[in-house]
Structure 1
Amino acid sequence: MSQVWSKEKAWNWYNNTPWLRGCNFMSSDCANRIDQWQKLGFEERFATADKELELAGSIGFNSIRIILEFIVWDQDHDGFMERFDRYLSMAYKHGIRSMIVFGNDCMTPKDEHYKPLKLGKQNFDWGYHGGRKHSQHSLLKQMGYHIMDEREIAERHYVWVREIMEKYKNDPRVVIWDLYNEAGNSHRDKISIPHVKKFFEIAREVNPDQPITSCVWKGLNYDNELPEVEQFIVENSDIISYHNYSSYEDNIKIIKRLKEYGRPIMNTEWLGRVTNNHLHELFPLFYLEKIACYNWGFVAGLYQTYEPWEGSWQRYELGKGDHLDFTKWFHDLFRPNHRPYDPKEIELIKRFTKLADGEFERQQEGEHV
């Protein structure tokens, strides 16, 4: 079994990679990730994704973060594998490499509102972040339910992770493996630790060319120690990655704290205008610090991530949301007609991506003189 990359190896990889910037991507005509990966309607959505990723490449994005959907692989294995490979090639055609995400703890409770995920036509609620009225973005108090809580299904998840990593472990279209999204979220806390550890164990056995990471998100909001699952993650990741939707000042404090680990840093989820997490402040900061960054969302659509988190509305109604700005879109960069939400944001992205690429090109030329 391979070990965590040395800091020297991690920095060597990072410094010989262009500054990674992009978004968490799902085409605007997808109601959810089942829509993104299932056979039904895929050709139409693939065509939409092709146009939207061409747009992403045109503004200087060179990477996307995509979250896979286990049940599509589980119920339509061969079809999923073919569609996934086409997705990688289509993005790469536009100069975009993909960060691949497997596990995810952003889940709702198994309560009276719970509906098992199924292939087929996907319903959504208008006016709600993520297209779901009852979602993990509400102020939920019960523990979220994950199908991996069923042991047999968990074992199939492990097969899923191993198969895909084995197939793409040397593939230049894949830039990094993000093994588990927000482990411990939805009040799951320590419940997911065995799954996170198993995913890392599999990844080290596969030993890909690409680095391995998983994000920290909860412990960064406090001055105390990281939760157990996040402590494991930072000790076992080649690259440190984090999520944050709060202010410029908070991000400066977080970056300072994460630098103590001595490894390259990525922010794999950001941009929450409602919560004072703004592109015109953070994108230049990430450029300056050479922190890879993936904002949430791209073209506004059925997933409706331009809407505020439901929890933001609930906080305001409880008298705890005076700091929230509901006059702005939460996420997303482009309107459905592909015009920018804010042209000045896109102009800024283009300026800083051009600067970064010029600097990287001069650096590479200097090393080959």
Structure 2
Amino acid sequence: MTYRVGWIPLSLLLLASGCASLGSKAVEQWSPQEANAWYAEMPWLVGCNFSPSTAVNQLEMWQRETFDPATIDRELAWASKLGFNSVRVYLHHLLWEQHARGLLHRMERFLDIADRHGIGVMFVLLDGVWDPYPQLGPQPDPIPHIHNSGWLQSPGVEILRDPARHEELKGYIKGVVGHFRKDRRIHAWDLFNEPDNMNDPAYVQFEPENKAELSLMLLKKVFAWAREAGPTQPITAGVWAGDWSSDAKLSEINRFMLEQSDIITFHSYANLAETKARVESLQRYGRPILCTEYMARPAGSTFAEILPYFQEQRIGAYNWGFVAGKTQTIYPWDSWTKSYKAEPDVWFHDILRPDGTPYDVQEVTLIRRLTGR
């Protein structure tokens, strides 16, 4: 069967258009049956969390002065050659405040490039990870040998800790989702990445003690705003920590994410046995399951161990990182507390070197075999 990137079943398009004419009426959460109908028409979604190697963070990727379509085109061509058909890509709310039309224009360009290479996109709208004080303008150079030293939270702590300011994000969420709500090049909307992450040890001293409570307050609003925008694509927020094995053991924020998402998404940087246990704990929701972050080689989360299982179970698979570059995610998380002077023998994340050659030829061979390339 030939698939079109971002293909949406006609029944769901009719549902969405009926519930969200001109983006003016909220869509309801998809039923498990509707979610599974959507997924049945998709290929096995496999790809990576993508940031061009020339960007240290989300702002450097998307701001007009540093947007780099040539690198994006080259690197997504390499992704396509691996058989990747989907990428997960982070945005930032400050880009909307800076110049909304400019952001939408660059998103259109990115989607055009990805579509030419047969790749759909899952956009991430907000992020609770790393630096809680984002600023527009020129971004800092990476700190040598430090994992993701320039990555930014969206929103920053100054908005998150003040619920009265949460409304400042409404225009961004509704504006972006609403603009692209019928765009078949978009596979899904990931509304808030790891919202309750305390970022220990890198930034824990700057985090509010009640971050989970504050993030849940914001998350509830973000889900409502996204649904008000009337997307024809599924919306989700992924669980990443805690015990998901039964309803009684769920944290309040995990319960909300799992019960409100159209499709179930999760993170696992664990070995195969633990990853299987996490998947099995999520199957009770009866919805499609996508792993939106995995693959940390020293932790036992490797392509050889995990990807064949995901293919067998038809679980969407997005490893962290692609081309080694300014995010420096070849270095492990402990690079924030342990000194590294040179490239580690075993890369933590990423697949290719900046010239497109693989870190591990056997890995690339395996990926291509599993994706049919």
TM-score for the superposition, normalised by structure 1: 0.84
* CA deviation profile, 1:60-108 (whole Å, cap 9, x unmatched): 0000000101112211222222111111111111000100111111144
* CA deviation profile, 1:13-51 (whole Å, cap 9, x unmatched): 101101101000000011111110001132xx2211110
Pick from 235, 255, 265: which aligns with 1:241?
265
Aligned match of 2:31: 6
Query: What amino acid sits opposite 1:348 in the alignment?
Result: L
Aligned CA distance change for structure 1 residues 146 and 85 (closer, same or farther; 3 Å)? farther
Determine whether 1:338 maps to 2:356: yes
Aligned match of 2:169: 157
Pick from 52, 58, 67: which aligns with 1:27?
52
What is the alpha-carbon distance in structure 2 between the residues aligned to residue 221 and residue 235 of structure 1? 12
Q: Is the 8 A contact 2:238 2:264 kept in 1?
A: yes
SS at structure 2 position matched to 1:200 = helix
What is the alpha-carbon distance in structure 2 between the residues aligned to residue 199 and residue 85 of structure 1? 22
Q: Which moved more, 1:15-24 or 1:215-224?
A: 215-224
Query: What amino acid sits opposite 1:46 in the alignment?
Result: P
* CA deviation profile, 1:157-216 (whole Å, cap 9, x unmatched): 111010111111110111111111012111622111111101111122223111111100
Query: What amino acid sits opposite 1:98 in the alignment?
Result: V
What is the alpha-carbon distance in structure 2 between the residues aligned to residue 327 and residue 245 of structure 1? 19
Aligned match of 2:104: 81
Aligned CA distance change for structure 1 residues 159 and 67 (closer, same or farther; 3 Å)? same
CA apart distance, 1:271: 0.6
SS at structure 1 position matched to 2:60 = helix
Aligned match of 2:299: 275
Pick from 173, 191, 202: which aligns with 2:185?
173
TM-score for the superposition, normalised by structure 2: 0.83
Aligned match of 1:124: 142
SS at structure 1 position matched to 2:250 = coil
CA apart distance, 1:313: 5.1
Aligned CA distance change for structure 1 residues 236 and 135 (closer, same or farther; 3 Å)? closer
What is the alpha-carbon distance in structure 1 between the residues aligned to residue 139 and residue 122 of structure 2? 27
What is the alpha-carbon distance in structure 1 between the residues aligned to residue 183 and residue 70 of structure 2? 23
Q: Is the 8 A contact 1:32 1:122 kept in 2?
A: no
Q: Is the 8 A contact 1:127 1:304 kept in 2?
A: yes
* CA deviation profile, 1:233-288 (whole Å, cap 9, x unmatched): 11111110000111111001001111111111000001111211111110101000
CA apart distance, 1:118: 2.5
Aligned match of 1:184: 196
What is the alpha-carbon distance in structure 2 between the residues aligned to residue 153 and residue 51 of structure 1? 39
Aligned residues: 331
What is the alpha-carbon distance in structure 1 between the residues aligned to residue 245 and residue 140 of structure 2? 38
Structure 2: segments with no counterpart, 5+ residues: 1-25, 199-208
Structure 1: segments with no counterpart, 5+ residues: 110-114, 137-143, 317-325, 356-369
Aligned CA distance change for structure 1 residues 249 and 193 (closer, same or farther; 3 Å)? same
SS at structure 2 position matched to 1:191 = helix
SS at structure 2 position matched to 1:177 = strand
Q: Is the 8 A contact 2:245 2:282 kept in 1?
A: no
CA apart distance, 1:148: 3.4
* CA deviation profile, 1:296-332 (whole Å, cap 9, x unmatched): 1000001101101137856x9xxxxxxxxx6411100
SS at structure 1 position matched to 2:330 = coil
Query: What amino acid sits opposite 2:143 in the alignment?
Result: D
Aligned match of 1:301: 325
Q: Is the 8 A contact 2:330 2:347 kept in 1?
A: yes
Query: What amino acid sits opposite 1:162 in the alignment?
Result: K
Pick from 56, 78, 88: which aligns with 1:65?
88
Q: Is the 8 A contact 2:145 2:335 kept in 1?
A: no
SS at structure 2 position matched to 1:269 = strand
